[in-house]
Amino acid sequence: MSNKYNKIAVVGAGAWGTALAQVAAMAGREAVLWAREPEVVESVNGAHENRLFLPGIALDPKLRATGDLSEAAEADAILMVTPAQHMRGVLEKLAPDVAEGKPVMLCAKGVEQSTNYLLTEVLAEAMPQAMPAVLSGPSFAAEVARGLPTAVTLACEDEEVAEALGNAIGLPTFRPYYSSDLIGAEIGGAVKNVLAIGCGIVEGKKFGDSARAALTTRGFAELARLGLAMGAHMETLAGLSGLGDLILTCNSPKSRNMSLGIALGEGKTLEEVMGARNSVSEGVHSATAVIALARKYDIEMPIAEAVAAIVTAKATVDDVIAALLARPFRAEN
């Protein structure tokens, strides 16, 4: 099947990167997956499985892994799936070999902690010649890799490029919906990770489904206030990459961020939880950056503030809960 973007490189071979490379291969593209870990390259190429980050899922034999970052630059389009806090460094290494105007799709979710930048802002500094795109939405890597039905937002200012990219990686079971609102697509993915930690804490404390629904809804109000202040469109925030992703992440222990919150609510320390994982719970790193953005735009985000206080050890779980429950009643908006 011919397409303008026939060779797809996926940079970052964690669970989500591997799933996206699997999608590209299943869509008939020449898919190459860059991995930092030699054992992942060996496992993908030899056993057609990412035993470290996505064990138990058979990968398309056409999917090939590499440890050579310059090979990714030769692709027609690049999907960046390295964790948000490492995105800049990988982009800077890749940048000298990337041609002017090449689509670079940001598939990680988060805010750069050191600068409080959205990842499109990081891309603009580290690789200014690239054409930015964002892929985000309610998606668990294992489900996507297995071919279970999933829908996502694919944002690019050039709608023709967005459509061509969607056609390149789209499947009947992996459905990209196009948008030109990059900020909206990004902000939902960044903020929902922080809110999911809060929902996990509610679950870990056994406060019940009603409390989790309330926190999710009030959390969405916070997400929307910040997104609108930053120039996002409400249609995007209420769509797959905003509300859709928030619903998924705040309601399933399969979410890394919610499961971390559950452990915190049960009394475990952050160090205990993080030390037992080989995957990234991005909400921990993005929490302080999200709060910095809220202050910059003079937006009230009490739930996100509470999560940031917990993950930075400025307050205990019980103290934060007591403070939230003591807030005065107010109009819903």
Residue 267, judged by CB atoms within 10 A of its CB (0-12, 13-18, 19+), counts as exposed
Nearest to 3 by CA among 24, 32, 34: 24
Q: Which of 102, 109, 192, 205 is catalytic?
A: 192
Residue 38: its H or E element? helix 38-47
Q: What is the Cβ-side half-sphere exposure of residue 30, based on CA atoms within 13 angstroms?
A: 12
Active site residue 192: yes
Burial 158-197 (b: 16+ CB within 10 A, else e): eeebbbbbbebbbbeebebbebebbbbbbbbbbbbbbbbb
Helices (H), the chain: 15-26, 38-47, 69-73, 87-94, 119-126, 141-145, 159-169, 182-204, 209-229, 234-237, 245-249, 256-265, 270-275, 282-296, 302-311, 317-325
Token code pair at residue 326: 């003591």
Catalytic positions: 192
